[in-house]
Every structure is written in structure tokens, then in C-alpha cells.
């Protein structure tokens, strides 16, 4: 079979772009197809041209020096030296219509009694509620941790698998512990996509994928057909299930049962003089219409301040979200300098997910098709890249 590309990646979030990068570094002709009109997926740093191009993170917010695969990519792109340290500002709780300290929800004596279990209690095969309720106490979990974890993953966390929430990773000591970039984390996605060795096509909707000899035929809704020797799906599980070709029925059955959480993200920008609130990293909401609010205060700007509110889906209309967010910030809606709404999606992993991944890997073994995303090891940038690196190695070797 003649091929147009050695490797086609469907999806230009960080998972797909990472797979494309690892592929192109092996000298393989690599194409990325993306359904939307932009690359980056959850790496989304919307800029506001009318406000001197001020930007706010609307998806991922932080990179760490424990992100080994990401740092390898940054090294390859010459971006490592451009990383900027994040200013240390703290989180607060939003509870009962008031900002409160994190410590106010902590039951100290319960934590002290429970902490020794952190060193002995196994994580594997346990839900977040089961594990953290055990090692830090049920009241601490109920009043603080369940809300903090929900703020991280923007969905209820009780049934989330513990091993997919936080994974210990070695830190690279020559790198800033927590960092970003002058123009936001979207810088990473844009730099990967701009490499001459990678072809990226946006606004490409796939109508079907067909196994074709030793490779695949990718059919685009506009009538184009592309052929490749290897294919990687870097899309949410529901989309992956719809795209898997004939011959991958076992993988399809496993993937289609993985849920997704919908998040309505509201980004607000104000002139700095209009916000009296002291600098903060963000707010963790307790039983409210939003999971969390994350600020741009980690990279201060003299002119503007920005906030991204991650709302629970279907609870408030856009107008009500704006009113509520402004009330939380104690700023009049008339003071809004710019705003935008963004629909985000994250995987809703549940107890037993590790077994599903193991079964999926067995179904893909020996095939020329890879599946990656932020729904294997966890939702962080590094979790996604760890899966992408592993799949590219499986497809093409070391």
C-alpha cells in the first residue's frame, strides 16, 4: 500500500501533539488532524487583542519540574530557557458565600491520628473517597479534601481511582519547580505544531477509518482520503470508540464505557484597579455552582487581572454565571473588561479503570494503531505525554 504519511495522529491536544513529536523525532513523516480550528485542546490560553493581548489560562494551569516527558520536548524545541517561575500565591475556600482559609476546614487532631496510614495504606484499586478518607480522616475528606480534589479534576472526585489522581514523579532539579510561559501554556502546543517535521491540519472532521492492508485509510468529511502505515487516536474516549475501525471491536467496547465530564469555563478579565481582592492562586468551591476559580495572579500584570471559573454543567446560564462570578470576586459586572466562555471536557475515570486500561492494551498489542489521551494515567499534561510516549514506542520501537 502506498502511504501519504508514515503516521497520522487524530487529535491536536497535548496527547496528540506529543505523539506527533515523538514520532517526528524518529524521522517519520507525521500528520496531525484536528477537528477544531486551533491546536492545544485543554492547553488553551485565550488572548484578548483589545486588552493589549492579555491572556488567561482556560484549561491547564501549571507545569512542574517533575514532568519529564514534557521537559524532554521543551529541550528539543529550545523552550526550556523560556520557562517562567510562577509567583507563589495561595488558594482559599469559597464556602457559604465567603472566602475562608484552607486551614479553617481542616480537623487537625483527626489528621494527626490518621497521617501514619499514609505510609502504609495501599493506593491501588481504591477510590479517592475510600483512600483519603482512611489516611486523613473522614471529616477531613468530607469538609476539605473532596472539594479540593473536585477542584483539580472539575468533577465529583469520590469514585475517581486514587492511582490516577496523583502519581509521584522524579523532579529535575535544574528546572523551576512550577512554571509557565510569557504567553501562556498554549505556547507549548503551538511550538510543537510549528515544527517543519510535523504537518498539522485543523478543521478536519473524520468520517471514517478503514483498515487497509498493513495500514489505514482515513476518510475526511470534505471527501479527502489519506493513507498511513500507523495511526494514533488522541481523542476523548467517546470519540475514539466511534472512530475505531472494524477489527478493533474489543477495544471499542472497552473505550466506549469510559465517561466524560463536561465543564463550562467562564473567563473574566478586569482592570487591576477594579479588583480589590488580594492576589491569590484561586478558590476551591464548597458545594457551589462552580468547582474552582483559577486566577492569572501567578504571572502578575500591572494593567489587568484574569480569572477562569470552572462551572458545573447545566447549573447556571451564562448571564447567571457572570453575576455569580462577579459576586464571588466582589466586583460589579459592569467592570468586566472582557470575557469568554469555553466548553471543556475531561475524562470521568472510575474505580477499576486500571483494569480497563490493561485490557485495552492487550487488545491493541501487535496492532499498528495506538490510543492515547488524558484518560489513561491521569489528566495532567505529563500523564497524557507519558501515555503518548509509551504508545509511540510500542508502535515504532526505541
| Angstrom distances, CA of residue 57 to CA of 61, 62, 186, 336 | 6, 9, 9, 17
Grid coordinates 467592570 are at which residue? 335
Three cell numbers written together for 70: 514534557
For residue 207, what pLDDT band results from cuts at 50, 70 and 90? very high
- 84 phi and psi angles, rounded to 5 deg: -120, 135
Q: Say whether pLDDT at 1 is over 70.
A: no
What is the C-alpha to C-alpha distance for residues 73 and 23, in angstroms, rounded to an integer? Answer: 12
How far is CA 324 from each of CA 81, 318, 327, rounded to the nearest angstrom?
Answer: 40, 10, 5
Q: Whole-number mean pLDDT of the chain?
A: 94
Q: How far apart are CA 176 and CA 374, in angstroms?
A: 24
Counting beta carbons within 10 angstroms of the beta carbon of residue 143, is it exposed (0 to 12), middle (13 to 18) or buried (19 or more)? middle
Judged against a pLDDT cut of 70, whether residue 2 lies above it is answered with no
**In which band, very low, low, confident or very high, does the pLDDT at 241 lie, cut at 50, 70 and 90?**
very high
User: Which cell goes with 364?
Assistant: 491493541
Q: Which three cell numbers stand for residue 390?
A: 509509551
Q: pLDDT tens digits, residue range 112-131?
A: 887 777 777 778 888 999 99
Q: Which pLDDT tens digit goes with each residue over 251-292?
A: 999 999 999 999 999 999 999 999 999 999 999 999 999 999
Report d(CA 7, CA 9) in Å as an integer. 7
Question: Hey, what domains does the chain have and what are their CATH numbers?
Answer: 5-42+179-258+349-396 (3.50.50.60), 103-164 (no CATH)
Count of residues in the chain: 398
C-beta separation of 301 from 269 below 8 A: no
**Do the beta carbons of residue 326 and residue 333 sit within 8 Å?**
yes
Residue in this structure with the C-alpha cell 474489543, named with its chain if needed:
250
Q: Which three cell numbers stand for residue 246?
A: 472494524
Q: 347-367 pLDDT, tens per residue?
A: 999 988 999 999 999 999 999
pLDDT-derived band at 378, boundaries 50, 70, 90: confident
Instruction: Cell 501554556: give the residue.
Output: 185
The pTM for the full model equals 0.94
Confidence check: pLDDT of 169 > 90: no
Burial class (CB in 10 A: 0-12, 13-18, 19+), 114: buried
Please list, in sequence order, all residues whose beta carbon lies within 8 angstroms of the beta carbon of residue 108, skipping any fewer than 6 positions away: none
pLDDT tens string 317-333 = 999 999 999 999 999 99
User: DSSP class of residue 120?
Assistant: T
How many angstroms separate the CA atoms of 137 and 144, rounded?
Answer: 11
Q: How far is the CA of 23 from the CAs of 30, 192, 230, 356, 360, in angstroms? A: 7, 12, 10, 26, 22
Stretch 93-104: mean pLDDT, rounded? 95
Beta bridge partners of 201: 33
CA distances from 44 to 12, 160, 213, 248, 252 (A): 12, 25, 38, 32, 29
Looking at residue 114, what is its pLDDT? 76
Task: For the chain, give percent helix, strand, coil, nearest 5.
Answer: 35, 25, 40
d(CA 4, CA 334): 53
DSSP characters over 334-361: GGEEEEEEEEEEEEE--TTHHHHHHHHH
Residue 307 near residue 293 (C-beta atoms within 8 A)? yes
**Above 60 in pLDDT, residue 143?**
yes
CA dist 309 and 292 (Å) reads 6
For the packed helices 381-396 and 68-77, what is the interaxial angle rounded to 10 degrees? 80
Q: Percent of the chain having pLDDT more than 70?
A: 99
Q: What is the DSSP string of 9-31?
A: EE--BHHHHHHHHHHHTTT--EE
For residue 289, what pLDDT is reported?
A: 97
Amino acid at each position: 500500500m502506498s502511504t501519504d504519511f508514515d503516521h497520522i495522529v487524530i487529535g491536536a491536544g497535548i496527547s496528540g501533539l506529543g505523539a506527533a513529536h515523538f514520532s517526528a523525532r524518529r524521522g517519520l513523516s507525521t500528520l496531525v488532524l484536528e477537528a477544531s480550528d486551533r491546536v492545544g485542546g485543554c492547553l488553551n490560553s485565550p488572548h484578548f487583542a483589545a486588552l493589549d493581548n492579555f491572556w488567561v489560562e482556560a484549561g491547564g494551569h501549571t507545569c512542574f519540574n517533575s514532568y519529564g516527558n514534557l521537559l524532554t520536548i521543551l529541550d528539543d524545541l529550545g523552550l526550556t530557557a523560556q520557562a517562567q517561575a510562577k509567583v507563589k500565591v495561595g488558594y482559599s475556600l469559597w464556602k457559604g458565600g465567603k472566602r475562608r482559609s484552607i486551614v479553617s476546614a481542616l480537623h487537625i487532631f483527626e489528621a494527626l491520628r490518621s497521617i501514619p496510614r499514609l505510609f502504609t495504606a495501599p493506593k491501588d484499586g481504591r477510590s479517592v473517597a475510600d483512600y483519603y478518607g482512611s489516611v486523613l480522616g473522614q471529616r477531613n475528606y468530607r469538609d476539605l479534601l473532596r472539594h479540593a480534589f473536585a477542584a483539580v479534576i472539575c468533577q465529583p472526585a469520590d469514585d475517581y481511582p486514587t492511582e490516577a489522581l496523583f502519581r509521584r514523579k522524579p523532579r529535575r532539579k535544574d528546572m523551576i519547580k512550577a512554571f509557565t510561559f510569557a504567553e501562556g501554556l498554549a505556547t507549548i502546543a503551538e511550538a510543537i505544531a510549528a515544527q517543519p517535521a510535523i504537518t498539522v491540519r485543523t478543521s478536519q472532521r473524520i468520517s471514517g477509518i478503514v483498515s487497509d492492508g498493513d495500514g489505514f485509510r482515513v476518510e475526511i468529511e470534505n471527501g479527502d482520503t489519506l493513507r498511513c502505515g500507523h495511526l494514533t487516536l488522541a481523542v476523548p474516549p467517546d470519540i475514539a470508540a466511534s472512530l475505531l475501525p472494524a477489527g478493533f471491536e474489543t477495544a471499542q467496547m472497552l473505550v466506549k464505557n469510559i465517561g466524560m465530564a463536561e465543564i463550562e469555563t467562564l473567563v473574566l478579565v478586569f482592570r487591576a484597579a477594579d479588583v480589590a481582592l488580594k492576589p491569590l492562586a484561586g478558590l476551591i468551591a464548597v458545594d457551589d455552582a462552580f468547582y474552582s476559580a483559577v486566577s492569572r495572579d501567578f504571572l502578575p500584570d500591572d494593567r489587568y487581572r484574569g480569572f477562569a471559573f470552572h462551572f458545573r454543567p447545566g447549573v447556571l446560564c451564562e448571564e447567571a454565571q457572570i453575576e455569580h462570578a462577579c459576586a464571588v470576586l466582589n466586583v460589579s459586572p459592569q467592570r468586566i473588561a472582557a470575557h469568554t466562555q469555553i466548553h471543556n471536557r475531561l475524562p470521568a475515570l472510575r474505580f477499576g479503570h486500571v483494569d480497563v486500561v490493561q485490557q485495552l492494551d492487550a487488545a491493541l498489542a501487535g496492532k499498528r494503531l495506538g490510543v492515547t489521551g488524558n484518560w489513561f494515567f491521569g489528566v495532567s499534561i505529563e500523564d497524557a505525554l507519558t501515555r503518548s510516549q509509551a504508545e509511540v514506542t510500542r508502535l515504532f520501537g526505541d
